[in-house]
Structure 1
Amino acid sequence: MKLRSIQVLRGLAALLVVLFHIRSLEGLGIAGNGATEQTLTGGALTNGYAGVDLFFVISGFIMVYVTDGMRHGVKPAADFLFARATRIFPVWWAFAGFMTVYIFAAHGTEGFGMASQGVPAVSYLVRSFLLQPQPAFPVLGVGWTLVHEMYFYIAFTLLMLLPRKWLPALIGVWGLTIIAGTLVGYAVPYAGTYRDLIFYPMTMEFILGAAAGLAVTSGLVWRAGVVTLGASLWLAVALCYQGMETEFTLKWGRVLWFGLPCAVLIYGVASLEARGRIAWLIPAAAGLLAALGVYQMFGLHEASPDALRRDATLLSTIVGGIAMLIVLWFGWLLGQGAPALLLRTQPFFEGILRRMVRLGDWSFSLYLIHMIVMSAMRRIFDLLGKIDALAPVFRLGHEGPLDNVAFIVACLASSLVTAALTYRFLERPAIRFFSKMREQIFYQKRDLLEPA
Structure 2
Amino acid sequence: GMKLQSIQALRGIAALLVVIYHARALEIAGIARGGSSEPALIGGLFASGFAGVDLFFVVSGFVMVWVTRDVLPGRTTSADFLFARVTRIYPVWWAAATLGLIYMVLSGGVALFNSSGAAITPDTPEYQYLWKSYLLVPQAEYPVLLIGWTLIHEVYFYLVFALLLFLPRGALPYALLIWGIAIVGASLAGLPTPIAKDLLTLAVHPMTMEFIFGATVGLVVTSGLFWRPGIVLMVATLWLVAALGLQGEPTPYTLQWGRVLEIGLPCALLIYAVAALDVQGRLAWLVPALVGAVLSIFVFQLFELVPASPLDLRQGAVILSTLVGGIGILVTLWIGWLLGQARPGWLLQAAPLWRGLLGATTRAGDWSYSIYLFHLFALGIIQRLMLRIEEEGSLATYLRLGTTGIGDNLVFLIGGLVAALLAGWLGYVTIERPSVFVFNALRRKLFRRSL
**TM-score, scaled relative to structure 2:** 0.96
In the other structure, the counterpart of 1:78 is 79
In the other structure, the counterpart of 1:262 is 267
3-state SS in 2 of match to 1:345: helix
Matched residues in 2 for 1:403 and 1:106: separation? 26
In the other structure, the counterpart of 2:250 is 245
In the other structure, the counterpart of 1:52 is 53
In the other structure, the counterpart of 1:4 is 5
Equivalent residues of 1:23, 1:46 under 8 A apart:
yes
Give 1:8-157 correspondences, 5 Å limit.
8-107=9-108, 109-110=110-111, 120-157=125-162
One-letter code aligned to 1:333: L
1:165 and 2:170 equivalent? yes
1:425 Cα deviation from its structure 2 partner: 2.1
1:334 Cα deviation from its structure 2 partner: 1.3
One-letter code aligned to 2:296: A
Matched residues in 1 for 2:112 and 2:400: separation? 28
One-letter code aligned to 2:79: A
1:387 Cα deviation from its structure 2 partner: 5.0
Alignment partner of 2:196 out of 182, 191, 194: 191
In the other structure, the counterpart of 2:119 is none
3-state SS in 2 of match to 1:41: coil
1:421 Cα deviation from its structure 2 partner: 2.0
For the structure 1 residues 119 and 372, does the alpha-carbon distance in structure 2 shift closer, same or farther, using more than 3 Å as the test? farther
Any runs of at least 4 consecutive aligned residues in structure 1 with deviations exceeding 6 A, and if so which? Answer: 111-114
More off after superposition, 313-322 vs 381-390: 381-390
1:388 Cα deviation from its structure 2 partner: 6.3
3-state SS in 1 of match to 2:376: helix
Alignment partner of 2:312 out of 295, 307, 311: 307
Matched residues in 2 for 1:71 and 1:250: separation? 37
Equivalent residues of 1:103, 1:111 under 8 A apart:
no
Matched residues in 1 for 2:185 and 2:114: separation? 36
1:359 Cα deviation from its structure 2 partner: 0.8
Matched residues in 2 for 1:66 and 1:20: separation? 30
More off after superposition, 296-305 vs 80-89: 296-305
Per-residue CA deviations over 1:187-226 (Å, capped at 9, x if unaligned) read: 1100010000000010000001111111111111100000
Unaligned runs of 5+ in 1: 448-452
Matched residues in 2 for 1:75 and 1:332: separation? 51
For the structure 1 residues 113 and 187, does the alpha-carbon distance in structure 2 shift closer, same or farther, using more than 3 Å as the test? farther
Matched residues in 1 for 2:110 and 2:4: separation? 45
One-letter code aligned to 1:424: V
Matched residues in 2 for 1:82 and 1:344: separation? 45
State how many pairs are aligned.
Answer: 443
Alignment partner of 2:382 out of 377, 382, 406: 377
1:332 Cα deviation from its structure 2 partner: 0.8
In the other structure, the counterpart of 2:226 is 221
3-state SS in 1 of match to 2:403: coil
Equivalent residues of 1:59, 1:209 under 8 A apart:
yes
Matched residues in 2 for 1:244 and 1:91: separation? 32
Matched residues in 2 for 1:395 and 1:53: separation? 33
Equivalent residues of 2:101, 2:110 under 8 A apart:
no
In the other structure, the counterpart of 1:450 is none
Matched residues in 2 for 1:77 and 1:5: separation? 27
Per-residue CA deviations over 1:408-440 (Å, capped at 9, x if unaligned) read: 111111111121122122211111111111001
1:390 and 2:395 equivalent? yes
In the other structure, the counterpart of 2:327 is 322
Matched residues in 1 for 2:102 and 2:295: separation? 44
One-letter code aligned to 1:37: E
1:126 Cα deviation from its structure 2 partner: 0.3
1:105 Cα deviation from its structure 2 partner: 3.2
Matched residues in 2 for 1:209 and 1:389: separation? 51
In the other structure, the counterpart of 1:212 is 217
Matched residues in 2 for 1:38 and 1:297: separation? 13
Equivalent residues of 2:79, 2:162 under 8 A apart:
yes
1:376 Cα deviation from its structure 2 partner: 2.0
**TM-score, scaled relative to structure 1:** 0.95
3-state SS in 1 of match to 2:166: coil
One-letter code aligned to 1:268: A
1:282 and 2:287 equivalent? yes
% same residue: 49
Alignment partner of 2:405 out of 400, 405, 408: 400
Equivalent residues of 1:103, 1:112 under 8 A apart:
no
1:377 Cα deviation from its structure 2 partner: 1.6
Matched residues in 2 for 1:274 and 1:123: separation? 46
One-letter code aligned to 1:273: D
One-letter code aligned to 2:41: L
Alignment partner of 2:371 out of 366, 373, 378: 366
Matched residues in 2 for 1:123 and 1:59: separation? 29
1:318 Cα deviation from its structure 2 partner: 0.9
Per-residue CA deviations over 1:100-136 (Å, capped at 9, x if unaligned) read: 223223327537989xxx9811111100110010011
3-state SS in 2 of match to 1:71: coil
1:384 Cα deviation from its structure 2 partner: 3.2
3-state SS in 2 of match to 1:141: coil
One-letter code aligned to 1:76: T
One-letter code aligned to 1:372: F
Matched residues in 1 for 2:414 and 2:147: separation? 22
